[in-house]
Amino acid sequence: MLYKALLYIHVTSAVLSIGPFFLLFSTIKKLRQADEQTEQAYLDTFRFAVYLAKHAGHVLVVAGILLAVLGSWPWTTPWLLLTIIILVASLLFLARAFSPTIRKFGTPGADRQQLVDKLLRAVWIYVVLLLTMLWLMVTKPMLW
């Protein structure tokens, strides 16, 4: 029963970690044409998505560790090991990709379109990283 509850928490936190980033694609489109006042509302959406993903990611990692400890998968299982490597990369990426770029919007003389392009690229990279981890968790491929 505990394992199933942890699995549910793990899956729910995965959805909360990935889902908000898909909404950011439409936010980026609107951000390109926003005036300064509206721009802040769209940037707040970005901040919230990153905040939600970060905290849901904490729950995701803790639940994942507990699942690995309680389950039958050894830490050296290829899909689990690769997921951990991608997780570390995604955490480093998340820490550097969004907040510094969002802060630059307030800088006088900043090239808004370049910053929006940078945010779009960061969202795509992060989504690909998250979906790769999701694929590994769901399919559990034996890679080596």
pLDDT tens-digit profile of 71-95?
A: 888 889 999 999 999 999 998 888 8
User: Please, are residues 89 and 129 in contact by the beta-carbon 8 Å criterion?
Assistant: yes
The whole-angstrom separation of Cα 52 and Cα 12 is 12
d(CA 130, CA 72): 24
> Model confidence over 95-128: pLDDT tens digits?
888 888 999 988 888 899 999 999 999 999 999 9
What confidence score (pLDDT) does residue 31 get?
Answer: 92
Q: If you search the block for the tokens 């639940």, which residue do you land on?
A: 63
Decide: helix, strand or coil at residue 84.
Answer: helix
Domain residue extents for the chain: 2-139
Average pLDDT of 42-57? 92
